[in-house]
Structure 1
Amino acid sequence: MVSGDRARSPAPEAKKAAPVTADDLLLRTWLHNRSENTRRAYERDVRDLLAYVGRPLVEIGLADLQGWFDSMAGASDATRRRKLSAAKSLLAYAAGTGALTQNAGAAFRLERGRDTLNERILSREQVLAMIEGEGEPRRKALLDVLYRMGLRISEACALRWRDVTRRQQGGVASVFGKGNKTRAVQVPAKLFKQLVALRVENGPDAPVVPGHDGRPLSHDAAHRIVKRAARRAGLSGAVSAHWLRHAHASHALDNNAPVHVVQATLGHASLATTTRYSHVREGDGSANYLD
């Protein structure tokens, strides 16, 4: 053997891809054309069910769903309901397409839970404490966008300058949101100026709220920014970006904004969803109109 040569070990066998199961195919078609965030959340919930049951969807019965739901006793009521809703949606889809002979989720009855929305609405003072307590301009801009434009965290992270049109007073953003719907959202003049000052490049695909490296802000990074702001303001650890969207709706209605305007800004499909944010103002109530 020539010096320096070594006997070559056999080439490692290529890793075989995991086989695609019937459940995988069903999930793929069920999630087709949904938004990335929806796909990620729904698939995570359904995979959780499959991991608990340990059997394919075709073998899941009502007792399995009930056991899975009961096993989540430590989670919040909203989380349990969301997970169950995802599972019931998939099972109904599978039964409707003929992939399953029966829909085990149809028999699972769940009473309507108590509306706890009021517990997730921050006061204006609390919101301003979060925003003003943030000294870094880029992070502060994110908090302002979430509150003053009422955007979902995914919408704020996805916003590009091609989506924003300058107006005489501020601008208008074309927001592609939940349900694959596009809506026009006003960018107040002060916020527009704030965002322009952060712009790192002039290309149309530049993010409106950039990350520390000038690239689009990730969902996780935005989440951390909100959590830190809430902690600095002495607020509950449960505060999330969606609480700022709740605050936008609540405060706008409290300041007599027309409910249909708030509905259009937030992209609510139903006016009933928007009116949930209406509050009885101090000194006012239907009792005043009885005598």
Structure 2
Amino acid sequence: MVSGDNDGMAAKAPSKSSISPADKMLVKTWLHSKSANTRRAYERHAFAMLNFVGKPLTDVTLADLQAWSDSLNGASSSRRLALATVKSLIGYGTEMELLPRNVGQAIRLDRERDSLHERILSQQQVVALIENEPDARRKALLRVLYVMGLRISELCGLKWRDITRRKQGGVATVFGKGAKTRHVEVPAKLFKELVALRDDTGPDAPVVPGHDGGPLSRDAAHRVVKRAGKRVGLPEAFSAHWLRHAHVSHALDRGAPVHVVQKSAGHSSLATTTRYSHVQDGDGAGKYLD
């Protein structure tokens, strides 16, 4: 079940009768290919907002969104999901040039009070972690984990055949959690760094090799991360996944739209992505970090 399906914010499903055909079509294309549960939850939040403001999306103002936001009740996580859903819809509509401006950009999402914040490094900590790594190969490993937001298993399994060159950087096809494939941007600066480390030009060569040039094991990658963390005084619990947390949080803080970060990180639920930080308009999560 998608988080927020039973949030108590509305006694009944919002009416679609007052929604304009153009807005219904925008919502439909925005939700295309999402699961049935996700479509129902996101559609309900979107139509509830439109019913509240009583005008088409092209005419919705920041004041309208703020009034709707103030009217929400229920659990804080449910309110955040509703806000994130509408922000994503408006961001998508703006990106597709179907809406004149992203009025949801100024709506900020409060971070939940949970232990996640304890595992999100500051941008200064990430810079120190990477810059204090003296070995170029290990430094690239840390940058891939952070800039691309990969899980440690995804990093270890990434081969050059999975990288498609672009004019600026490249795109990695990542086979991740839940046997799902996603496409992750490799910014130009990071791409050049990885190419400079490449000795084996074969397609099955690892993008981040081990010390002997062969595939990197998870244990070896874990040791690199732990040593780097210890070097700069990070908590003993620090792990590679903390860099993934930092990737999502910092990308959102720097203006990446929530739906872009969700896709880049491979989160199955928008609610997972919105736990991290604030959302603004933009595109390509990795660009905000390189």
TM-score, normalised relative to structure 1: 0.57
Which protein shows a greater Rg? 1
2:261 aligns to what? 262
Higher relative contact order (CA 8 A, sep 6+): 2
Unaligned 5+ residue runs, structure 1? 1-113, 281-291
The answer as to 2:186 corresponding to 1:173 is: no
The CA deviation string for residues 128-174 of structure 1, in whole angstroms up to 9 with x for no partner, is 11100001011000000000000000000000000001100000000
SS state at 1:127 partner: helix
- 1:157 maps to 156
So what's the TM-score if we normalise by structure 2? Answer: 0.57
- C-alpha displacement at 1:221, in angstroms? 0.5
Identity %: 75
Alignment of 1:1-291 (within 5 A): 115-279=114-278
Q: Which amino acid aligns with 2:192?
A: K
Runs of 4+ in 1 over 2 A off after TM superposition: none
Q: Which amino acid aligns with 1:245?
A: R
Structure 2: tracts of 5 or more residues without a match: 1-112, 280-290
**Alpha-carbon distance between aligned partners in 1 of 2:123 and 2:114, rounded to the nearest angstrom:** 21
Deviation at 1:279, TM superposition (A): 5.0
RMSD: 1.4
Distance 2:120 2:243 in 1: 8
Give the corresponding residue for 1:96: none
- Secondary structure of 2:172's counterpart equals strand
Comparing 150-159 and 230-239, the one that deviates more: 230-239
Amino acid of the structure 2 residue aligned with 1:247: A
1:24 is matched with which residue? none
Q: Deviations over 1:101-125 (max 9, x none)?
A: xxxxxxxxxxxxx731011000000
Residues in 1 aligned to 2:118 and 2:256: alpha-carbon distance in whole angstroms: 22
Aligned length: 168
